[in-house]
Amino acid sequence: MSKSANQSSVGSKKAPRPLSAIILAAGKGKRMNSDLPKVVHPVAGKPMVWWVVQACRESGADPIVLVIGHGGEAVRKVLGDSGGDTRYAIQDEQLGTGHATLCASDAMKSFDGDVLVLAGDGPLIRASTIRIMHAKHIETDAAATLATSTIPDPTGYGRIVRDDQRRFSAIVEHKNATEAQRRIREIYPSYACFNSRLLFDMLRQVKPDPLSGEYYITDVFAMLKDRGLRVEIVDAVPPEDVLSINDSQQLAEVDSILRARLAPSSSTKRKAGAAT
């Protein structure tokens, strides 16, 4: 494809690019009151991280790198290499999402394309949302693309700040947000797609947070923007899918939502009954 064709306007057909995924699955899940890694806890009959892996597979991502830490062998045991597309990276110390993602760099060193970065504790993710995000990423030649959600109560979430042209300006954490920013209901639920080589280049330059000492992947979006590179937003995440799991109550809530989603619709049941 020529350079001019590759820079054509949004909405035109472009050749697909290789897609991979990094799933952050090293969390200890202290509030789960269990020795198991958080992502191994079952949701709708499967480990919660299994649903994230499946969404990535259905979206065509290969390889899928799982960043594991505490209890990582339990993650390997429940997932294995059943799809032939899974790899593992180790995060020995939990130093933030940026550090966790950078731990996957060796497993990704031969890959050149786009990479998803997703949380292993968000089993409500849909392959359709990933496809929408990646399509936007390709069509706009973006360095990074965020899928966002607009929810009724954004308390506690990072807010998406847009500029006068409705383009990406910043992600502002709730605790750092002004009163005006706290009224923003568009939030970042940790769904992102990056040019893989740019991602790892930026991650090597991320500075630790002065208060926590952790390295955050959210800093990469601003770094790319400051270098004149394109950061896109697509408001594509259904509000119910934002829920991640940090304790047993949230686990039960997400389990109920996912089981309801997977159950045959009432109309399907009625049709099946009429046919018998």
- Cα separation, 87 vs 62, whole angstroms: 10
Q: For residue 45, give both structure tokens.
A: 């009959």
Q: Is the residue at 3 inside a domain? A: no
Q: Domain of 216?
A: 17-257
Residues 89, 84: Cα–Cα separation, whole Å: 16
Query: Which is catalytic among the residues 31, 183, 227, 270?
Result: 31
The percentage of residues in the chain with a pLDDT greater than 70, rounded to a whole number, is 87
Tens digits of residue pLDDT in 118-144: 999 999 999 999 999 999 999 999 999
Q: Is residue 30 one of the residues assigned to a domain?
A: yes
In a domain, 8, yes or no: no
Burial class for 234, CB neighbours closer than 10 Å (0-12, 13-18, 19+): buried
pLDDT, tens only, 48-93: 999 999 999 999 999 999 999 988 899 999 887 656 789 999 999 8
State what percent of residues in the chain have pLDDT above 90: 70
9 in any annotated domain:
no
Beta-sheet pairing, 64-68 with 19-24: parallel
- Asked whether residue 203 is domain-assigned, the answer is yes
Interatomic CA distance for residues 73 and 28, integer angstroms? 13
Q: Please say if the pLDDT value at position 248 is more than 70.
A: yes
Q: What predicted TM-score, i.e. pTM, was given to this entire model?
A: 0.88
Who's near 1: CB < 8 A, 6+ residues apart?
A: 14, 15
Distance CA 46, CA 92 (A): 26
pLDDT tens profile 161-216: 999 999 999 998 888 899 999 999 999 999 999 999 999 999 999 999 888 899 99
Contact 79, 49 (CB under 8 A): yes
pLDDT at 33: 66
Is 31 annotated as catalytic?
A: yes
Question: 2-47, pLDDT tens digit by residue?
Answer: 343 343 334 445 667 899 999 999 977 666 667 788 899 999 999 9
pLDDT at 266 over 50: no
Euclidean distance between CA atoms 199 and 98, whole angstroms: 10
Residue 263 included in any domain: no
Q: What token pair was written down for 168?
A: 């990406």
Q: Does residue 245 fall inside a structural domain?
A: yes
List of residues 6+ apart from 87 with CB closer than 8 A: 63, 64, 65, 66, 107
Domain membership of residue 59 (yes or no) is yes
And the tokens for 101?
């993602």
The domain tally of the chain equals 1
- Return phi, psi of residue 236, to 5°: -125, 0
The pLDDT of 257-274, averaged and rounded, is 67
Q: Mean pLDDT over all residues of the chain?
A: 88
- Give me the CATH number covering residue 242: 3.90.550.10
